[in-house]
C-alpha cells in the first residue's frame, strides 16, 4: 500500500488507479477507502481519470498524530495533491466537503471541486440540535466511550434505531466502531458549527459543483444550495431519485462532465 507522509509525520495510506487528469476523492465521516462510497465511484472514474482514494488520518491504514487540528487534515490533502503531480480535481462527500473547502482556500493545486451534500445544516435549522450533538459527542469521547459516540452520530444523522441495533449485533462491529469513533470529533471540528464558512468560500475562485439528491431530506438539499450560493464560481445541481447515499453510477457521469474528462 503506497503512503505519503504529511507535514506532522502522519502516514497517509492511499490508492491510485486509472489514467488521465488527477482527481482526489475525500470521504465524509465514518468512511475510508475500503468502507464507504469511494471504492465503487473510483472504479467508474478510472477510465477517464487518475483516481486517488485515501484513508483520512485516524482511519483505515493511515496513522494519527495528536492533538487533532483542522490544519493537519488540510496538510494531509495537500500531500495527496503533491503526490498527484501538484494539480488535481477534488470530489468530496458529506462532511468531507468542509475539508475540501478549507483546503481549496489555501491550495493552488486544486483546479476544481465538486461537493455532494455538505451538511451545513445550521443554515436551515435551529442550531440547538447541532450544538447538543457536539456537546454529547465530546462527553462520550472524553469518557472513552467511542462505540457510544458512533451510535450517537448514527442517531444524529437519522439512521433508524432498528438498523443501528442490527449493526451492533454483528460480530466485529464494536471493534470497528471503537477504532473510528474518535475521528467523529475531527469531522465535527471541521464542520465548525455546521454553517457555510463564508470567510473561506468567498476566496475560492476555482470552478465548483455542489450536488444534492432529490430524495434527500430537504434540509440537506437546502444546505447544498446555500453552499453553492456562497461560492463565487459554483453551479448547483440536483440528482434525480438520489439520497445522501448517492449511487456511484448516478454520480460518475456528472463528475466526468463537470471535470471535463
The pLDDT tens digits of the residues spanning 3-29 come to 999 999 999 999 999 999 999 999 999
Q: Of the residues 157, 187, 217, which one is the last residue of a structural domain?
A: 187
Share of the chain above pLDDT 70, in %: 100
| Average pLDDT for 85-96 | 98
Residues 34 and 76 in one domain: yes
Determine the structural domain holding residue 221 and report its residue range: 3-124+196-258
Residues 138 and 218 in one domain: no
The C-alpha atoms of residue 216 and residue 43 are separated, in whole angstroms, by 24
Tell me what the pLDDT averaged over the chain comes to: 96
| Average pLDDT for 222-227 | 98
Residue pair 224/243 in contact by the 8 Å Cβ criterion: no
Residues 89 and 139 in one domain: no
Residues 83 and 178 in one domain: no
Write the CA distances from 145 to 186, 188, 212, integer angstroms: 16, 17, 33
| Average pLDDT for 148-153 | 96
What confidence tier does 94 reach under pLDDT thresholds 50, 70, 90?
very high
Q: Of the residues 187, 208, 234, which one is the last residue of a structural domain?
A: 187
What confidence tier does 228 reach under pLDDT thresholds 50, 70, 90?
very high
Indicate which CATH number applies to the domain containing 30. Answer: 3.40.50.1820
Is 90 exceeded by the pLDDT of residue 217?
yes
| Overall number of domains in the chain | 2
Residues 119 and 132 in one domain: no
Q: What confidence score (pLDDT) does residue 261 get?
A: 62
| Burial tier of 140 (Cβ tally within 10 Å: 0-12, 13-18, 19+) | buried
Q: What confidence score (pLDDT) does residue 64 get?
A: 97
Residues 22 and 81 in one domain: yes
Residues 134 and 120 in one domain: no
Residues 150 and 182 in one domain: yes
Residues 120 and 14 in one domain: yes
Is 90 exceeded by the pLDDT of residue 1?
no
Residues 87 and 183 in one domain: no
Q: What confidence score (pLDDT) does residue 126 get?
A: 85
pTM (two decimals): 0.97
Nearest Cα residue to 115 out of 245, 234, 250, 32: 234
Amino acid at each position: 500500500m503506497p503512503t505519503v507522509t504529511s507535514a506532522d509525520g502522519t502516514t497517509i495510506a492511499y490508492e491510485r488507479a486509472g489514467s488521465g487528469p488527477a482527481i482526489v476523492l475525500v470521504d465524509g465521516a465514518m468512511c475510508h477507502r475500503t468502507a464507504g462510497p469511494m471504492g465503487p465511484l473510483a472504479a467508474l472514474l478510472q477510465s477517464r481519470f487518475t483516481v486517488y482514494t485515501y484513508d483520512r488520518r485516524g482511519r483505515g491504514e493511515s496513522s494519527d498524530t495528536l492533538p487533532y487540528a483542522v490544519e493537519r487534515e488540510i496538510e494531509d490533502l495537500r500531500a495527496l495533491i503533491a503526490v498527484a503531480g501538484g494539480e488535481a480535481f477534488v470530489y468530496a462527500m458529506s462532511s468531507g466537503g468542509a475539508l475540501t473547502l478549507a483546503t481549496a482556500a489555501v491550495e493552488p493545486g486544486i483546479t476544481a471541486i465538486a461537493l455532494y451534500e455538505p451538511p451545513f445544516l445550521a443554515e436551515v435549522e435551529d442550531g440547538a440540535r447541532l450544538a447538543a450533538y457536539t456537546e454529547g459527542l465530546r462527553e462520550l469521547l472524553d469518557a472513552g466511550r467511542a462505540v457510544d459516540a458512533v451510535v450517537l452520530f448514527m442517531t444524529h444523522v437519522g439512521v433508524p434505531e432498528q438498523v443501528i441495533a442490527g449493526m451492533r449485533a454483528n460480530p466485529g462491529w464494536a471493534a470497528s466502531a471503537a477504532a473510528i469513533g474518535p475521528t467523529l470529533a475531527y469531522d465535527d471540528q471541521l464542520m465548525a458549527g455546521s454553517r457555510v464558512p463564508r470567510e473561506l468560500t468567498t476566496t475560492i475562485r476555482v470552478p465548483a459543483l455542489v450536488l444534492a439528491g432529490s430524495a434527500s431530506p430537504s434540509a440537506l438539499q437546502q444546505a447544498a444550495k446555500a453552499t453553492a450560493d456562497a461560492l463565487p464560481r459554483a453551479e448547483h445541481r440536483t440528482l434525480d431519485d438520489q439520497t445522501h447515499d448517492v449511487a456511484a453510477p448516478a454520480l460518475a457521469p456528472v463528475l466526468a462532465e463537470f471535470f471535463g474528462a
